[in-house]
Structure 1
Amino acid sequence: MLEHNSGKYLYTIRSANGVLVENLQVYGKSRTEADNKIRQMYLRCDIISCGLIEDIRARVPNLKMNWVRP
């Protein structure tokens, strides 16, 4: 299951000692890379959920207003 969506991923994990950790945000070029980064930071964790965070700025056009004197 390889995804090629670079961006920020939002995780909910259960750490090795049983603590639920929510709202972890990790950047990755793919879901696999982001998973590897999480597993390096939290050894022996269980990934409960993961989702790609959409960049709001990418959906809204960047408009600049140039004022012109009449």
Structure 2
Amino acid sequence: MRLSEFWLAVADEFGDAYGRILTRDLVLGDIGGMTADDAIKAGVSVRDVWLALCSAMDVPEERRYGVGRREPKKP
């Protein structure tokens, strides 16, 4: 997962404003008690941060994988 895909997934799942609040303020136990923003800055895999955020927010499994991917470019 790329960082741009992470932000698309956050916006899709939580909305832009609330998603930014969550990534800034919510402490995620699955990634060592850091916020998503801090974990990304510390070099934690963006995919791991996404999954930790999903876990903390009880996002159903079916909405955790494959989100944030952009539509393929059309020829």
TM-score (norm 2): 0.32
Q: Is the helix fraction higher in 1 or 2?
A: 2
Larger Rg: 1
TM-score (norm 1): 0.34
